[in-house]
Amino acid sequence: MSSLSECLTKRLPGCVAGLVLAATAAAGPAEPPCHAVGPADWQPLSVRWVGECPDGRAEGLGVLRGLAQGKVVRLYFGRMQAGQPQIGVVEQADGYVAGRFEHGVLLPSDAREDYVLAFTTASAAAEAASQRFSQAGNAASAHFYHAKARRLAEQMD
């Protein structure tokens, strides 16, 4: 297997898949289930929350992973409140969807400040996930989410 730096600088085939697999690995011992609901259009997907879970519900900054047949197909980076997306960014195959959410539905908005706040929140959420994985000793996932935090922050440049 090539080194991580080779994967990142040369974009070798198979490296990205390996990094994604590493990033979706469990950070440590199994944790009790955390109730989280994905955005409304995620209905056929199962979800996993990487973040705080007081009272058994996703809360605060983190990453919600949408899985189909055990494979991550969508990511929500942002703030959750009582298990529901509040503000953040969904990363999917065709790009980003950003803004405020209510009951799992993206609220329509043309206000630039909503997008800026969504990407700023998403970057902070990805960095929080990176720190969580780092503290659990999962360097590959920590690196993956740190890189996501940088990319999300760059969207506002």
- pLDDT recorded at residue 48: 96
CB 97 within 8 A of CB 90: yes
Number of domains in the chain: 1
* The model's pTM: 0.80
| pLDDT at 54 exceeding the cut of 50 | yes
Which has the closest alpha carbon to 101: 80, 121, 119, 120? 80
72-131: pLDDT as tens digits: 999 999 999 999 999 999 999 899 999 999 999 999 999 999 999 999 999 999 999 999
By three-state DSSP, how is residue 72 classified?
A: strand
Lowest-pLDDT range of 17-21, 97-101, 113-117, 146-150: 17-21
Alpha-carbon distance 21 to 133, whole Å?
14
Which has the closest alpha carbon to 39: 84, 77, 92? 84
Question: What single-letter DSSP state applies at residue 107?
Answer: P
What confidence tier does 31 reach under pLDDT thresholds 50, 70, 90?
low
Domain span holding position 16 = 4-154
By three-state DSSP, how is residue 145 classified?
A: helix
